[in-house]
């Protein structure tokens, strides 16, 4: 038999889906889950495959991942109304009657011939008289639910798109305008956010959501006087309801007012109100800052049930990062030497998580430094484009990644960058110049070893070395 004529069998999505359905009939759900996953991976646009995979994930206690899959595909399919049925069934599986009912009514509104509303009435033993009111309630809930999910997963663009896809008249309600302002705020679109929030506060000075967001805006735009005034109001105000209490508590936690944040949020947790990723995340950080370490870890573990977050972003890891930034500040930022201060900024940028610097007192010190340091900081943290810090930083990265991590190594490179800048020498390939700078610094290293270490050709290395040598001669 000629084996070359045998056509290898390559199972497609349909094959794995059929295998999954067979495993369900045999009550082998772990194996069924694996088959559905393979079917979905091969054909993610097939709604039947995705739905069965999500349903079984939800049934087996992995609702958070099931939600992620369905929401991701919902956006990919441009808010296809068929997804409302999938959402409804998924939440029905886990016993979340409210979500199942509201998503289900939205599906029924889009596909009335399916009579799904009758099934919902039978399942939940209710009688829906005011269908239009229910549909509006569903629209508000679904839009808010999807926005919050996407926002908490740092998908701000998608979250704002969800708001913009809501019925026009609903986009004007206070809740959605506040959400839009929050999204714009975190996209650094401060002017747009300010217009919305200013209008909300003109309409209602007691709108705690708008005041909270406006306080954040003042914080981000360094409007000190306005921030202090708004902060005083937030610090002493007694929220009129649990919703305001929740929102103010979250904002105060972000602004590092942990004691007051904890005072507002912990009672909500005890009452079982607003149990969510946001609440547990804020309580974990506030508890840690107040010294309740075991409680902080408990909140962090419970938070993982809603959305898995790497421990790198935990309060204790952020605490280590905060201390490391403070040490760098003391060791480098008060040095009289410009290059040592620049080395400090680079070392600070390597602290993980990168976001640990936000809200850190080191910003006050950074603001007192010179122009080049400020440009470097803006390039790093505010995504402002400057060529000089880009060349400087990428060279430092190349050094660091190849084991050249001492202050002397970095100092040498910074001198070379300054000479290149002053001589108006444009370089596209940085690595040869970094390697050449180390050759000039270390007498006991060979050209060949540096070429191999930095993975540069002999030609480029020699060219960079000639340029640098000429700069030193001037």
d(CA 240, CA 243): 8
- pLDDT, position 382: 73
CB 356 within 8 A of CB 321: yes
369 has a pLDDT exceeding 60: yes
Q: Is 230 exposed, middle or buried (0-12, 13-18, 19+ CB in 10 A)?
A: buried
Domain assignment of residue 130, yes or no: no
117 has a pLDDT exceeding 50: yes
398 and 467 together in one domain: yes
335 and 409 together in one domain: no
DSSP 443-474: TT--HHHHHHHTT--HHHHHHHHHHHHHHHH-
Domain assignment of residue 67, yes or no: no
Reported as a pLDDT band with limits 50, 70 and 90, residue 7 is low
d(CA 109, CA 134): 10
384 has a pLDDT exceeding 90: no
pLDDT in tens, 447-460: 999 999 999 999 99
Q: Is 241 exposed, middle or buried (0-12, 13-18, 19+ CB in 10 A)?
A: exposed
1 has a pLDDT exceeding 50: no
Q: What is the value of pTM for the model shown? A: 0.66
Percent of the chain with pLDDT over 90: 60
4 has a pLDDT exceeding 60: no
Q: Which residue has the tokens 């122009």?
A: 371
- Mean pLDDT throughout 208-233? 88
d(CA 178, CA 160): 12
DSSP 364-402: HHHTTS-HHHHHHHHHHHS----HHHHHHHHHHHHHHHT
Q: Assign residue 188 a region: left if phi > 0, alpha if psi is -120 to 50, beta otherwise?
A: left
d(CA 22, CA 24): 5
Q: Which residues contact 340 (CB under 8 A, 6 or more apart)?
A: 332, 407, 411
Question: What is the Cβ-side half-sphere exposure of residue 372, based on CA atoms within 13 angstroms?
Answer: 18
Domain assignment of residue 381, yes or no: no
385 has a pLDDT exceeding 80: no
342 and 315 together in one domain: yes
6 has a pLDDT exceeding 60: no
465 and 403 together in one domain: yes
- Mean pLDDT throughout 27-40? 92
Least confident interval from 99-113, 127-141, 293-307: 127-141
CB 421 within 8 A of CB 388: yes
CB 246 within 8 A of CB 210: no
204 has a pLDDT exceeding 70: yes
pLDDT in tens, 287-304: 999 999 999 999 999 988
- pLDDT, position 9: 52
Structural domain count of the chain: 2
- Mean pLDDT throughout 38-42? 93
pLDDT in tens, 159-180: 999 999 998 999 999 999 999 9
Q: Return the structure tokens found at 392.
A: 């400087």
Give the residue from 417, 430, 409, 390 showing the smallest Cα distance to 471: 417
- pLDDT, position 174: 93
474 and 395 together in one domain: yes
- Mean pLDDT throughout 115-127? 82
Domain range for residue 397? 386-474
CB 230 within 8 A of CB 218: yes
315 and 344 together in one domain: yes
130 has a pLDDT exceeding 70: no
d(CA 180, CA 191): 13
- pLDDT, position 217: 92
Cα angle at 227 between 292 and 382, to 5 degrees? Answer: 85
322 and 406 together in one domain: no
Question: What is the Cβ-side half-sphere exposure of residue 80, based on CA atoms within 13 angstroms?
Answer: 15
d(CA 364, CA 368): 7
Domain assignment of residue 457, yes or no: yes
pLDDT in tens, 14-28: 899 999 999 999 999
Reported as a pLDDT band with limits 50, 70 and 90, residue 86 is very high
317 and 355 together in one domain: yes
Alpha carbon distances (Å) from 123 to 67, 127, 129, 141, 395: 22, 11, 16, 20, 64
Alpha carbon distances (Å) from 391 to 226, 354, 375, 436: 38, 20, 13, 15
Domain assignment of residue 450, yes or no: yes
């Amino acid at each position: 038999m000629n084996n070359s004529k045998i056509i290898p069998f390559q199972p497609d999505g349909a094959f794995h889906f059929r295998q999954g359905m067979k495993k369900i009939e045999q009550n082998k759900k772990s194996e069924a889950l694996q088959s559905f996953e393979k079917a979905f991976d091969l054909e993610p646009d097939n709604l039947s495959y995705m739905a069965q995979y999500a349903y079984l994930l939800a049934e087996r206690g992995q609702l958070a991942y099931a939600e992620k899959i369905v929401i991701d595909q919902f956006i990919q399919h441009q808010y296809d109304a068929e997804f409302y049925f999938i959402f409804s069934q998924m939440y029905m599986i886990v016993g979340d009657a409210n979500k199942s009912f509201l998503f289900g009514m939205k599906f029924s509104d889009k596909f009335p011939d399916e009579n799904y509303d009758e099934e919902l009435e039978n399942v939940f033993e209710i009688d829906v008289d005011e269908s239009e009111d229910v549909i509006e309630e569903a629209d508000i809930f679904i839009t808010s639910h999807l926005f919050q999910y996407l926002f908490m997963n740092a998908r701000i663009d998608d979250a704002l798109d969800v708001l913009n896809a809501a019925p026009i008249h609903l986009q004007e309600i206070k809740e959605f305008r506040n959400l839009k302002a929050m999204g714009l705020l975190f996209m650094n679109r401060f002017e747009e956010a300010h217009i919305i929030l200013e209008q909300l506060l003109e309409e209602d000075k007691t709108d705690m959501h708008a005041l909270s967001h406006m306080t954040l805006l003042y914080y981000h735009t360094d409007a000190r006087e306005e921030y202090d005034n708004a902060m005083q109001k937030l610090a002493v105000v007694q929220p009129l309801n649990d919703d305001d209490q929740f929102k103010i508590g979250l904002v105060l936690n972000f602004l590092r007012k942990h004691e007051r944040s904890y005072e507002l949020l912990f009672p909500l947790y005890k009452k079982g109100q607003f149990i969510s990723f946001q609440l547990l995340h804020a309580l974990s950080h506030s508890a840690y800052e107040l010294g309740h370490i075991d409680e902080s870890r408990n909140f962090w573990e419970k938070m993982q049930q809603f959305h898995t977050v790497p421990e790198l972003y935990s309060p204790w890891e952020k605490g280590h990062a905060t201390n490391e930034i403070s040490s760098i500040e003391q060791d480098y930022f008060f040095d009289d030497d410009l290059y040592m201060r620049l080395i400090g900024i680079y070392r600070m940028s390597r602290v993980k998580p990168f976001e640990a610097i936000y809200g850190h007192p080191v910003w006050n010190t950074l603001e007192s430094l010179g122009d080049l340091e400020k440009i470097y900081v803006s390039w790093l943290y505010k995504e402002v484009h400057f060529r000089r810090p880009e060349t400087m930083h990428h060279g430092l990265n190349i050094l660091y990644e190849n084991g050249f991590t001492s202050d002397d190594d970095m100092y040498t490179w910074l001198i070379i960058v300054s000479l290149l800048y002053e001589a108006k020498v444009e370089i596209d390939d940085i690595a040869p110049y970094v390697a050449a700078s180390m050759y000039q610094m270390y007498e006991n290293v060979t050209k060949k070893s540096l070429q191999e270490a930095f993975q540069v050709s002999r030609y480029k290395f020699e060219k960079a070395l000639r340029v640098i040598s000429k700069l030193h001669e001037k």
